[in-house]
A = this chain, B = another copy of it.
Amino acid sequence: MRAELISTGTEILLGQILNSNAQYLGQWLADLGIDLYFQTTVGDNAERLADVMKTAMGRADLIIVTGGLGPTSDDLTKEAISELLGLELIMDENSLSSIEAFFLDRGKTMPEINKKQALIPKGAVVIPNKRGTAPGVIIEQGSKTIVILPGPPVEMQPMFEETVVPHFKKKCIGGSDVIVSRVLKILGLGESTVEERINDLVLQQNNPTIAFLAPKGEVFIRLTAKAESESAAEKLIETPEKEIRKRFGTFIYGSDNDSLEKAVMRLLKEKSLTVSTAESCTGGLIAKRLTDISGASESFMSGIVTYDNQAKMDLLGVSPQTLEAYGAVSEETALEMVRGVRKTCGTDVAVSVTGIAGPGGGTAEKPVGLVYIGLADHDTAAAKRYLFTGDRETIRWQAANTALNKLRLYLMNYTV
């Protein structure tokens, strides 16, 4: 079973919104074991939509189309596809009542233009919409299945999960095979170094396949296996995963949905330790990421963002002499910040970050991207120099990543 996604909407081509439907449906199809080979975005134009549908029907068995089901004249998905497939559009009384009720529930009368949303291609299965006016449809023609859903994610997603997925499962639309992916996440090594270290495995790959992703300064290794069941696919992944973990050790901080902050919070909880943060250039990003994790209050006590020098002195006890002699962005200041916050907040461990996120503020000796990161516990404190590249957002993100990773490695080695 080969699938193809078609996203309709001129606003997507004009770049006014991100195509999150493609991502959502892509994830679902992978989970259902359905191969997705092409995704196309086309504007609100009947001719071009028909063109794209024709191409899709020539190379896919399952075509999912989103968008263009609204009441306005731009909304022409059902019309264009019905014409292409030679299907008559028939007024569906149930759908019409639902649309009228949708307006009544909000104290309004259904505008005339919404009536066309109740037109259904002859023989199609209606996909009810509880969060909007447009029903979707599932059309089966020969060996092809065509699904049409509304564009707004808040309507499309529940319709897909509540009606389309069960329909697929009932009709055994799905791979006979299941696809399972394992993503191993690496921080601290570059993409080429990572690939070289497992080049022999890459050359021999078959099932699972091995692919690389390099988002925001990290490297992900993705193993994708296809088998007749989830457990069989997991079994195929076991051996290469074990080998890759052996070769990378603690450079791998997690897998799949793990994040550095999840790993840190899990370790803090395990070891019953508390943490505080002192941030300058990362501006609260580390505290924010740690508190993204539900239950953070068990281990994260407080964070201090000292954006200016007075704050570093007043809130963290950094000495004026240190700031005078070495500057805010220095190993010495990072050290005093981390000792200061640990003591002030009374936590077991603490991290500090001070640096130049850019675009302004850099000099020859202290360029944009220069960051010092400190770590302290009850007995010791140390700070280290880093040089990150990229724009402001990237430098802040990588500094936060590195600080979280320092914490992670410390906690992994920690014994009571």
User: Residues on A close to B: CB < 8 A?
Assistant: 10-20, 22-30, 36-45, 48, 51-52, 55, 59, 70-74, 106, 108, 111-114, 131, 152, 154, 179, 181, 183, 190-193, 195-196, 199, 202-203, 211-215, 222, 224, 277, 279, 281-288, 290-292, 294-297, 300-308, 310-311, 314-315, 344-346, 358-360, 389-394, 396
Contacts and interface: CB of A to CB of B under 8 A. Distances in A.
A19 B25 CA distance: 13
Contact of A294 (B40, B314, B360, B394): B360
Contacts of A213: 11, 16-17
A406 to B, nearest CB: 18
Given A17-B213, A114-B192, A314-B346, 9 more contacts: A16-B213, A108-B190, A277-B305, A281-B291, A283-B292, A291-B305, A294-B359, A302-B305, A303-B304
A19 B22 contact: yes
B305 A74 contact: no
Contacts of A14: 26-27, 30, 36, 179, 181, 224
Could you say how many copies of this chain the assembly holds? Answer: 2
A110 to B, nearest CB: 8
Nearest to A305: B303
Contacts of A191: 70-72
A302 B308 contact: yes
14 contacts: A11-B211, A12-B22, A14-B181, A38-B48, A73-B202, A282-B291, A284-B284, A294-B359, A295-B360, A296-B307, A303-B305, A304-B304, A304-B305, A315-B315
Nearest to A74: B211
Contacts of A28: 15
Given A179-B14, A294-B359, A305-B287, A44 B196 contact: no
Overall SS of chain A's interface: mixed
Contact of A154 (B179, B345, B391): B391
Given A74-B212, A191-B71, A211-B44, A196 B113 contact: yes
Contacts of A306: 302
B16 A18 contact: no
Contact of A38 (B52, B279, B310, B311): B52
Given A20-B18, A212-B72, A302-B306, A11 B48 contact: no
A283 B290 contact: yes
B288 A285 contact: yes
Contacts of A344: 314-315
Given A304-B305, A305-B291, A37 B43 contact: yes
A191 B152 CA distance: 13
Contacts of A112: 196
Given A283-B292, A300-B307, A307-B296, A15 B25 contact: yes
